[in-house]
Amino acid sequence: MERINSANELEALRKSILSSRDTNKPCITICSGSACHASGSKEVASRIEEEIANQGLSGTVDVRKTGCHGFCEKGPIIVIHPEKICYFQIKPEDVSEIVTETIIGKKIIERLLYTDPATNEKIVYESEIPFYKNQERLVFGSNGSIDPKNLDDYLAIGGYSALAKALFQMTPGQVVEEVKKSNLRGRGGGGFPAGSKWEGSRNAPGDIKYVIVNADEGDPGAYMDRSLLEGNPHSVLEGLTIGAYAVGSHEGYIYVRQEYPLAVENVTTAIKQAQEYGLLGKNILGSGFDFTVKVHMGAGAFVCGESTALMTALEGRAGEPRPKYIRSNVKGLWNRPSVLNNVETWSNVPLIINNGADWFTKLGTESSKGTKIFSVVGKINNTGLVEVPMGMTLRDIIYKIGGGIPGGKKFKAVQTGGPSGGCLPEELLDLQVGFDELTKAGSMMGSGGMIVLDEDTCMVDVARYFLEFLTDESCGKCVPCREGIRQMLQTLTKITQGKGKEGDIELLEELAETAREAALCALGKSAPNPFLSTLKYFRNEYEAHIKEKRCPALSCKELIAFYIDPKKCQACTTCARKCPSNAIIGGKNLIHMVDQEKCTKCGTCFEVCPPRFSAVKKISGEPVPDPIPEEARIIVRGGKKNE
Amino acid sequence: MDNRVDQITDKHECQCGHSDNIEGLSDRVDQIIDKHNCEASSLIQVLLEIQSENHWLPKEALDQVAERLQVPLTRIQQIATFYKAFSLVPKGRHGIHVCMGTACHVRGAQRVLDTVENLTKIKPGETDLDLKFSLETVNCLGCCALGPVVEIDGKTHGKMAPAEMADVLKNYE
């Protein structure tokens, strides 16, 4: 490929790519994100390619391996273009039929379609599926239609036109002003206005400045940045290059976890291609602007998501944060002005430059503009990545898009903002999502993790879980974080073990207040949030653990027991066969019992007991009933049962 | 460092032709360092590549990195112990990664981890004495819809239940 030397040449190339593509030619797009890979999409893709060759269709049908389509619960997903027929949970053995029936015969295969659980109707097209139709997929939408390893795909959807516009029609100052006017706030957690950050760097003294992509993510349960970088790396690169032009930087870094190998691979390929096309490197598009990007793999530490720690890690040192007497945008990487934004923030930039700040600000709430990608996971029917306009209510996200709670269970809370966030109860379901709205309610936006919890989830254990995570991930540099969070974890752990005592809640509150005030970085300052929000909305659960030694959600291992109701047990032996610790006593015609000494409380017996018997009970705060006598345990088949 | 780790290291050094491996590794370490232009700022990248190829960081390799990059060994050890990606002891033939992300946690990841610990007799961060399994926990594998998720040697096992874990582990020699 020859490099592109002007905006006109870029447009000419785009037209040539589009004219060479027949929009009526069948094309099968297959989700090849990490989640679908785990569900077997690689095997499906190979089988599709084989089948097309075997059926003599090579050259007449395109196959495109795309990034994550978002609806991970239903993966592997394929969409057949141009009709956009959507098939879910495809197995390699379905492929032959798909090619024969749908590609050649133009017939729909009903069993592979989405079934709306509300109406039981089959839905053929992606745009009509509730999960998709209630979203506003501006940043994430292209993920499902382009091959991340093919720059032409990105150019075909208008890629790099925003960069050309910025370089040839706008001054760097105008770019900064446009981003400021859009009120784009950082999507990584802090919510700091991106334009102001850029302006600070632009005005800072020094000729050498840096722009950095924070692709460390690391929030447990959040994977939108990873999916965006995997599926549409050029959108991130384009945003980064525009940012570099705006602040006067000629060197950029993508700090990405080595735990995200597909993201590393795809963004590395994207950089190479962009250099070949003249969209990165020297004299970009013939504008005279030079900009290079390097990929720097992170070794997996949550604290490295913090800006100063990330920059320290980029310098090749242990990623510990430092006090921000001087902000990183003035004195950051190697003490030079450095703009750090996360993946999703950078991906918003081309949209703002192309469509204008006024277009962007029409979406969202008063203080939170645009859209946000959420990772909607946990106890929810439609698990996946969801992009919605800021201001949509939690209820709409969880029920209209997420499809509600599985198994007829009751919604209990939604945890937003990752380990720095908090849990919001049912009475706040009509809260509009936005940076300030969530903070006021005691949680936060964070990077967009949204974990739905049902009635079986213990809120004390959720707080303990996050404190455990943060204790493990704390860099240990400051005492309030290193020691304070550890003490909080120990107290919470004791409570979940039934060893809590009067005064523990007050002690936790005091420790939380100290960490909030005195910790060095955001990790420590926000660490108490999961505890404080669960205490605020679910104090009764803390009190039940401490005063009654009872876990109301029947979740905490040390406070529950499994017991087989002798009146219901039919000695089917299912639980005995599945129990991994051989803790079930009983035989084919003998009512079963749980050996409480051997039981590891894994819950397998409870889960596998056939619903028609429902003989296994979970109990908490009450003694396990005494075993019935041996002679009463014998079941006489053929009508008569023990009485 | 617990006793188990000491035993593993000793066993590895005396039974696995350790010194031969180190000689081969030495050339490769040089190549990795050269690829990064011998820049001290590439220290973490260099260690990641050695870890990726060798599965752990032997003391000899760290000495070599320190000498060539002109970085104090104490700093390298600080980094090698700070980040979870690095291991200063040999790893087992099979790497078990149990996802402990929030989505997996609320769907029972702890019960799965407890079962793996019971079956392998090792805790997260440890390797068994036969160098068969190394157990790690990870924060999110990006497969939340399949939770609880366990990844063994790069193969993902989704929607795992404690009862299924024993069957899965039987397949690894």
Q: Reply yes or no on whether the pLDDT at B142 is more than 70.
A: yes
* Omega cis (within 30) before A76: yes
A214 vs A227: CA distance, rounded Å: 14
Q: Give the pLDDT mean for A283-298.
A: 96
- pLDDT tens digit sequence for A350-398: 999 999 999 999 999 999 999 999 999 999 999 999 999 999 999 999 9
In this prediction, residue A576 carries a pLDDT of: 95
Name A93's Cβ contacts closer than 8 Å, sequence gap at least 6: none
Strands A292-298 and A114-115: unpaired
In this prediction, residue A259 carries a pLDDT of: 86
Q: Give the pLDDT mean for A538-563.
A: 97
Q: Residues of B marked as binding? A: 99, 104, 140, 144
In this prediction, residue A221 carries a pLDDT of: 87
In this prediction, residue B23 carries a pLDDT of: 66
Q: Give the pLDDT mean for A490-498.
A: 98
Residue in B114, B103, B115 with CA at minimum distance from that of residue B148:
B103
In this prediction, residue B20 carries a pLDDT of: 46
A469 contacts on B by Cβ (under 8 Å): 100, 139
| ipTM of the complex as predicted | 0.85
Q: Give the pLDDT mean for A16-36.
A: 93
- pLDDT tens digit sequence for B61-80: 999 999 999 999 999 999 99
Q: Give the pLDDT mean for A261-285.
A: 97
Residue in B166, B153, B27 with CA at minimum distance from that of residue A602:
B166
Nearest to A221 among B103, B111, B158 (CB): B103
Q: Reply yes or no on whether the pLDDT at B19 is more than 70.
A: no
Chain B: residue nearest A599 by CA?
B115
The more confident residue out of B23 and A412 is A412
Q: Reply yes or no on whether the pLDDT at A639 is more than 60.
A: no
Q: Give the pLDDT mean for A545-566.
A: 97
Choose the weakest-confidence range: A6-10, A57-61, A82-86, A639-643: A639-643
Please work out, in degrees rounded to the nearest 5, the angle formed at the alpha carbon of residue A275 by the alpha carbons of A269 and A281: 135
Do B163 and A579 lie within an 8 Å CB cutoff?
Answer: yes
Q: Give the pLDDT mean for A201-216.
A: 96
- pLDDT tens digit sequence for A504-536: 999 999 999 999 999 999 899 999 999 999 999
Task: Give the confidence band of A635 by pLDDT, cuts at 50, 70, 90.
Answer: confident
Q: Give the pLDDT mean for B23-32.
A: 89
Q: Give the pLDDT mean for B115-139.
A: 93
The more confident residue out of B163 and A590 is A590
Reported residue count of chain B is: 173
Chain B: residue nearest A415 by CA?
B102
Sign of the dihedral through C-alpha A115, A116, A120, A121? negative
B155 vs A394: CA distance, rounded Å: 35
Q: Give the pLDDT mean for A443-458.
A: 93
- pLDDT tens digit sequence for A39-81: 999 999 999 999 999 999 999 999 999 999 999 999 999 999 9
Task: Give the confidence band of B15 by pLDDT, cuts at 50, 70, 90.
Answer: very low
CATH class of the region B94-170:
alpha beta
If 0-12 CB within 10 Å is exposed, 13-18 middle and 19+ buried, where does residue A502 land? exposed
Nearest to A220 among B82, B101, B163 (CB): B101
A54 vs A625: CA distance, rounded Å: 65
Q: Enumerate residues 109 to 168 of chain A having a beta carbon within 8 A of any beta carbon in chain B.
A: none
Percent of chain A exceeding pLDDT 90 equals 86
Nearest to B144 among A319, A377, A462 (CB): A377
Task: Give the confidence band of A219 by pLDDT, cuts at 50, 70, 90.
Answer: confident
Choose the weakest-confidence range: A211-220, A316-325, A630-639, B82-91: A630-639
Sign of the dihedral through C-alpha A356, A357, A362, A364? positive
Tokens of A622: 């009450």
Radius of gyration of chain B (CA): 18
B47 contacts on A by Cβ (under 8 Å): 299
User: Taking the model in full, what pTM does it have?
Assistant: 0.91
Q: What is the DSSP letter of A412?
A: E
Q: Reply yes or no on whether the pLDDT at B4 is more than 60.
A: no
Do B52 and A258 lie within an 8 Å CB cutoff?
Answer: yes
The more confident residue out of A116 and A283 is A283
In this prediction, residue B9 carries a pLDDT of: 40
In this prediction, residue B21 carries a pLDDT of: 59
Do A604 and B162 lie within an 8 Å CB cutoff?
Answer: yes
Domain map (residue ranges) of chain B: 17-82, 94-170
Q: What is the DSSP letter of B140?
A: -
